Amino acid sequence: MLSRAVFSSANRRVWKIANVDALRHLSTSGPPPSVPPKSPYNIEPDTADKSKEEMRLHYRSNEESEFKLGKHRSNALELVEKFPIIEVEGEMAICDGGGGALGHPLEYISLERPGVVERCKYCGLRYASKKWHKA
């Protein structure tokens, strides 16, 4: 068995210094490492030489907008406008968007202003008080 004196802190310090010197000697000896030849499979993208701003503009310019090409469905606001104005007896309307899983949080709409048709901020349905609204 090895004695404790072999593993003293002074010996450890000497061992570390000796290893560092050996590594320095190994790293300085011999020719410098050569650069490996470039593989034909390392193909850089077209945007490798461009700045971030140029890449952002390049990405946006290649993106097709569905609205410009007319592929989008009909406008939701046009569909909401087809619904008639909902007349309410009191001065407060409660809209839940149709209820169920497809609805939205309850929206309490004040109808106190005379002659004004108010909209729900979630679904866009229009509400008016019967005492003010004359259709």
- Whole-angstrom CA distances from 124 to 15, 37, 73, 107, 133 are 79, 64, 18, 11, 18
Q: What is the mean pLDDT of the chain?
A: 72
| Number of domain units in the chain | 1
Q: How many CA atoms lie within 13 A of 17 on its CB side?
A: 6
User: 100 pLDDT band (50/70/90 cuts)?
Assistant: confident
User: 120 pLDDT band (50/70/90 cuts)?
Assistant: very high
Averaged pLDDT, 98-103: 80
In a domain, residue 108? The reply is yes
Q: Which residue has the higher pLDDT, 58 or 113?
A: 113
Structural domain of 119:
76-129
| 3 state DSSP class of 95 | strand
Domain of 81, CATH number, reads 2.60.260.40
In a domain, residue 44? The reply is no
pTM: 0.44
Q: Which residue has the higher pLDDT, 23 or 121?
A: 121
In a domain, residue 65? The reply is no
Question: For residue range 22-80, what is the model confidence (pLDDT) as tens digits?
Answer: 555 555 555 556 766 666 666 666 656 667 777 666 665 556 666 666 666 667 778 88
Averaged pLDDT, 104-129: 91
In a domain, residue 111? The reply is yes
User: 126 pLDDT band (50/70/90 cuts)?
Assistant: very high
